[in-house]
Structure 1
Amino acid sequence: MEFTVVTAEDGWTIENLLRDRWRLGRKIVHEMRMQDAVKAPDGGRTRWNEPLPAGTFLSIRTPDAKSDYVPETCELNVIHDDPHCLIVHKPAALAVHPNEPGGTGTLMNRVIARFGPYAEHVHRLDKGTSGLVLIARHPVAKAVFDRMLEEKAIRRTYVAETAGAFKKRSGTVSAPIGRDRHHATRRRVSPSGQHAVTHYDVIREDGDRAIVQLELDTGRTHQIRVHLAHLGHPIIGDVLYGGRLSGDGSYRLHAERLSFIHPFTGKSLDIEDSVRPEWLP
């Protein structure tokens, strides 16, 4: 895949762009150098350590890559699509990716069928969680978005329906999460677990139910589910963490929004899922 970028200020070199702005790893930068992957739009060669004036156009060819997902043509709701990334809606009860090579029946099987040969998810949602998933469309984008996620430059907003009336309508849960040694798939708040931070705001209460908006600083397995249960407000339908049954057997957690500065265009993206769960007011 090829795309064009424009230098934003005087004095930048190709090395600056790849290593400092996009902060790509040595391996991928070396591979791009060996493939002569950065050129002037007319095809001419540009020295990687040559300072360039602002407004210089560069043509970048990403390393060849192919994802291992088996294509599977099924319904796919694409909320945002550009040459570098996709944002797609994942229905509840659909896994993001297979757990083993050659697996099918997941979101990524659907994505690769439409957008292959390369696509990789930047983050995951639990199988029972619905909402937005960010997907990189080439290896350079995957490396950049992975770094942005790690550095909290991608804002992820969720909503959940929970049980019980909150004493505090907003707050932050900073509680480490680790495995529950008594259950193969469950997690728990544990002093020896991984650092995990969740911010919450109660946006609506109705009797013993509440709609809560949440944002993540970290992305631990089952983080929101564990932290809400730790507060004494498990998600309705999330029986793994003590929630009471919902009418349809699912649990009520939805990834409703993704916000970030696009690393390749510089534009601010604030994407809201156009598919709303029935339980949201």
Structure 2
Amino acid sequence: MITFTYAVKDSDGTLEQLLRDDWKAGKKNIHELRMANAVTEAEGVPAVWRTPLIAGTELTFHLPEAHSEYEPLEVPGVKILQEDAHFIAVFKPAGIAVHPDGTSRESTMMNAVMAHIQEQGGTYAEHIQRLDKGTSGIVIVAKHPMAKAMFDRMIASNEITRLYNAEVEGRLKRLKGSVNMPIGRDRHHPTRRRVSMSGQTAVTHFKVIERKEDTTLIEATLDTGRTHQIRVHMAHLGHPVVGDNLYEASALPDGSYRLTAVETSFIHPFTGEKVVISTL
């Protein structure tokens, strides 16, 4: 059983309104909670769904047991940055994948997260974001299935903002700009993407932070989350990410490339508070 508590804020809304309108928890989740009497007040008394809640009332949510299949392993470089009852913000180093792909035996970020979850007595963790194996930075992980559903909805509606830092080849002339070019698969390469008029809409905004002798440091934000988006768009401008030889940059000796998700922000789906996680 997965449980968490919530203190009702300054609202005279009902439990049903809280779940439906404020949390946008989804009809299926709401129905299952209601049928199972899975929301209780003090001393385990089932909550009343259509009576206005009193501010300060503490609700306890009892979710069915859920399991994730990641093997718990220690993975160097993976760090927990922030955590509550609903999510974990994890720093993923470059060079490891977010999750196993079924073909590689290499340890991944989710193996390390599952080790952390099991130390707390938990059995469930699922990532709601991905980063390319060579990209370092912040990844959000849900700690229970309802949180996963709610964060997935936020991702789909672009309610989670990510800030990236990158070093690109050459000296960008513009101080800031946007690239609005669709991205699709490169039919000549199994993993590469390319700007393609038949691809998916992709919008990247960038701002110059520093110009070096042969490279430029930029900040980038995305309106969309396409595979390799920043890498493809910057290469399309003629300024590939330093070290990204998949997109025609010169390879670095260690095989890495210079792209990091340095900040993530969102309105917490359960508390309504602004959450900012940063490595800056």
TM-score by length of 1: 0.92
Map residues 103-252 of structure 1 onto 2, 5 A cutoff.
105-116=107-118, 117-252=123-258
2:95 to 93, 96, 116: 93
Whole-Å separation in 1 of the counterparts to 2:37 and 2:104: 33
Secondary structure of 1:29's partner? helix
- Structure 2 unaligned blocks of 5 or more: none
Residue 279 of structure 1 aligns with which residue? none
Residue 27 of structure 1 aligns with which residue? 28
Residue 83 of structure 1 aligns with which residue? 85
- CA RMSD of superposed structures (Å): 1.8
Whole-Å separation in 2 of the counterparts to 1:78 and 1:167: 38
Superposition deviation, residue 109 in structure 1? 0.9
Secondary structure of 2:211's partner? strand
Residue 278 of structure 1 aligns with which residue? none
Secondary structure of 1:71's partner? coil
- Structure 1 unaligned blocks of 5 or more: 275-281
Whole-Å separation in 2 of the counterparts to 1:26 and 1:62: 15
Secondary structure of 1:201's partner? strand
Percent identity over paired residues = 51
Residue 12 of structure 1 aligns with which residue? 13
Is the aligned partner of 1:273 residue 2:275? no
TM-score by length of 2: 0.92
Given that residues 96 and 107 in structure 1 are in contact (C-alpha distance below 8 angstroms), is that contact kept between their aligned partners in structure 2? yes
What letter matches 2:197 in structure 1? P
- Please say which of residues 258-267 and 109-118 is displaced more in the overlay: 258-267
Superposition deviation, residue 9 in structure 1? 4.0
Given that residues 69 and 102 in structure 1 are in contact (C-alpha distance below 8 angstroms), is that contact kept between their aligned partners in structure 2? no
Whole-Å separation in 1 of the counterparts to 2:104 and 2:218: 38
Superposition deviation, residue 261 in structure 1? 2.1
Cα gap change, 1:113 to 1:104, in 2 (>3 Å): farther
Secondary structure of 1:246's partner? coil
Residue 2 of structure 1 aligns with which residue? 3
What letter matches 1:255 in structure 2? A
